[in-house]
Structure 1
């Protein structure tokens, strides 16, 4: 019974923090990010729209929708971000839309030894800092630890002077996001 009371209290604290952070995001002027609730009565599930500018790797700009789901243990555990259809063709986004970025990995030692604990989730992160990191990932994809191997291979080949296949796939994805296809 005490564990349930603790969980319930933690969820209430998490909900208050998320309400505050959502309000702060609505009152700040963050270029390229729009957030709201998926369902009016659920503060733990946010709809996110990222407006990717013309200057990044996503040539021509794009609008990508995602759902950011927060655990009841937030801010002690990270949220999860899943892009909706069309899923961006990106080295750090699994084909099912789930985002793979170090700051959203649980706050523990990486069992594979790739990331240090300092690169992983920390309660100092906020939805705003997370989404700004995601925007920067569109500017500079990380092909060192890819979630989408095909995207990473095509990006590497293009960086090495190979065919512009990555750019072609990204443009198709951008057109889909803008409703052109």
Structure 2
């Protein structure tokens, strides 16, 4: 376990302080169990999207070599979305390790860069909610429904939004 004065812990502490002082519209973030490497994030479903009105809880888990490597993000709230695995794990380019994609889908510039912060990560995820990328879906079923049965997809997301308000 890294000590709490490590570079990654100091950087995360700085970002937390910044977000506490200057909250960003659309989400809030704080430590889970006082662990600087585990953050709870609460996202508001973006206006004008199917997710509007929902409150979605997610967990950001940072590696001790952050910011060289990206954190993982997992929705704790139910999430029905082409770019979110069934276990809630978020699949977007900026959370993929740095360098070139061996499958050739993403350029290095779309992937993780150490300049990303909690804010840029969460805002990217919120923007992902607004516009799913079904090129390389994490949840094949959700992507298929999004393409072939938009009404059914919308109903399923609305249930997810309602459930997020009950949790």
> Structures share a fold, TM > 0.5?
yes
Change (3 A) 1:46 1:164: same
SS in 1 for 2:122: helix
> 2:38 is matched with which residue?
45
Q: Give the match for residue 109 of structure 1.
A: 100
Q: Check whether the contact 1:47–1:67 (CA below 8 A) recurs between aligned residues.
A: yes
Instruction: Indicate the residue corresponding to 2:56 in structure 1.
Output: 64
Give the 5 Å matches for 1:1-181.
8=2, 12-40=6-34, 42-58=35-51, 60-84=52-76, 86-158=77-149, 164-179=151-166
Per-residue CA distance 1:119-158 (angstroms, 9 max, x = gap): 1100011110010111111111111111011111111124
CA contact (8 A) 2:4 2:10 kept: no
Shift of 1:107: 0.4
Give me the CA root mean square deviation: 1.8
Residue 57 of structure 1 deviates from its aligned partner by 2.4
Unpaired runs of 5+ residues, structure 2, are none
Q: Secondary structure at the match of 2:166?
A: coil
Between 1:96-105 and 1:7-16, the stretch displaced more is: 7-16
Runs (4+) of structure 1 moved beyond 6 Å? Answer: none
Note the alpha carbon deviations across 1:145-172, whole angstroms, 9 max, x for none.
11011111111124xxxx5111011011
TM-score (norm 2): 0.93
Which sections of structure 1, spanning at least 5 residues, go unmatched? 1-6
Once the two structures are overlaid, the 10-residue window that deviates more, 24-33 or 63-72, is 24-33
Q: Higher Cα Rg: structure 1 or 2?
A: 1
